[in-house]
Amino acid sequence: MISIKNLHFSYKKKKVFTGLSLQLSAGHIYGLLGKNGTGKSTLLRSLAGLLFPDKGSVEVLGHRPGKREPAFLNDVFMVGEEFYFPNVPISFLIKHQAPFYPQFNEEQFNKYIREFEIPADSTLQNMSYGQKKKVLISFGLATNVSLLLLDEPTNGLDIMSKSQFRKVMAGALDEKKCIVISTHQVKDLENLIDRITIIDEGTILFDQDMERIANKLSFRISYDQAEIKESFYHEGSLKGTAIVTENMEGEESKVDLELLYKAIVTNGQKVQSVFNA
């Protein structure tokens, strides 16, 4: 579905990607993690056809995104971190924006709006940032596009909305869709994503299925000083020391995304060696 080969991109003198390659397929929710300024949003904007590669190729659903052809644009939807809504009621959005998306389902949209507890007769400009974001997410999901790109979707959402978001997203995936979520709020993606991709310094630092991570790594509390010392990453908590270590027992471990992220950023090569073995 998405094929990125040797992607180079820079903003004037600042290099963002220097040879990034990545394959994403339908039927998955991908979590794109990374520090601020590592290129997560740039990657999503390149996939949406808003930025053009300096070198290399980006192919999405058989299209070159930069051409911005209608057949591509009506099968991709991006929920940006910064977004704009005209000053119209929600009904206008359905009447004038939805017809551009052939798979748009109004019933589905209304269902999401209800789940997010948005009053259907509100004018978009009178809504809070979080409410607008929920409308945009609902609209994006209801378009039923093959590729949904979400850039920091939980920013600005309150605690209840974040769990509503996880619930809505979990029910939205099918085998024909691909959802890519970029965020640095890793906790919000727990139990939602099935593959994690970590970008750093313009390259892919880590890219694995959640199932494989759960098999290969162990996330637990430890009191054993030797084990703590040997772990890929450890940090103190009220219960003891939380560690990330190799899963020797073969039992599936519940992945703690925050710990995983920290382990990869601080000790990436060692973590990666477990997966290469």
Partner 1 sequence: MNQVFNFNRCLLLIAKHWSENRKKYLLGMLAITGIILAWFGFYIVMERYRPMDPGVQYGTYYVGLFIVGCLYASTLFADLSSKSKGTNYLSVPASQLEKTLCTLLYGVVIFFIFYTLLFYFADIIMVKVGNTVAYSYWETNHSPAAVFEPQKVVNVFWTDSRPGQGEFNFLFYLLLCYFAVQSAYLLGSVYFSRFSFIKTTVGLLFIWLLLIVFVGKILNTFMPDGSFYESMASYRLNVGSDISEKIIRLPEWVNTGSLFLLKYAFAPIFWIATYFRVKEKEI
Interface with partner 1 (CB under 8 A): 45, 48-52, 68-71, 73-74, 77-78, 80, 82-88, 92, 95-97, 99-101
Paired residues of 195 in beta bridges? 30, 209
Minimum Å distance from CB 102 to partner 1? 9
- Return d(Cα 157, Cα 189) in angstroms, integer: 13
Minimum Å distance from CB 13 to partner 1? 16
When the beta carbons of 74 and 222 are compared against partner 1, the nearer one is 74
When the beta carbons of 77 and 261 are compared against partner 1, the nearer one is 77
When the beta carbons of 1 and 98 are compared against partner 1, the nearer one is 98
Minimum Å distance from CB 265 to partner 1? 27
When the beta carbons of 87 and 276 are compared against partner 1, the nearer one is 87
When the beta carbons of 183 and 208 are compared against partner 1, the nearer one is 183
When the beta carbons of 78 and 178 are compared against partner 1, the nearer one is 78
Minimum Å distance from CB 87 to partner 1? 7
HSE-up of residue 49 (Cα within 13 Å, Cβ side):
20
- Return d(Cα 224, Cα 231) in angstroms, integer: 11
Minimum Å distance from CB 175 to partner 1? 23
- Return d(Cα 13, Cα 54) in angstroms, integer: 12
Minimum Å distance from CB 22 to partner 1? 20
Q: What is the 3-state secondary structure (H, E, C) of the chain?
A: CEEEEEEEEEECCEEEEEEEEEEECCCEEEEEEECCCCCHHHHHHHHCCCCCCCEEEEEECCECHHHCCHHHHCCEEEECCCCCCCCCEHHHHHHHHHHHCCCCCHHHHHHHHHHCCCCCCCEHHHCCHHHHHHHHHHHHHHCCCCEEEEECCCCCCCHHHHHHHHHHHHCCCCCCCEEEEEECCHHHHCCCCCEEEEEECCEEEEEEEHHHHHHHEEEEEECCHHHHHHCCEEEECCCCEEEEEECCCCCCCCCCHHHHHHHHHHHHHHHHHHHHC
Please answer whether residues 93 and 124 qualify as being in contact, where contact means their C-beta atoms are separated by less than 8 angstroms: yes
When the beta carbons of 98 and 274 are compared against partner 1, the nearer one is 98
When the beta carbons of 83 and 269 are compared against partner 1, the nearer one is 83
Minimum Å distance from CB 232 to partner 1? 37
Minimum Å distance from CB 69 to partner 1? 5
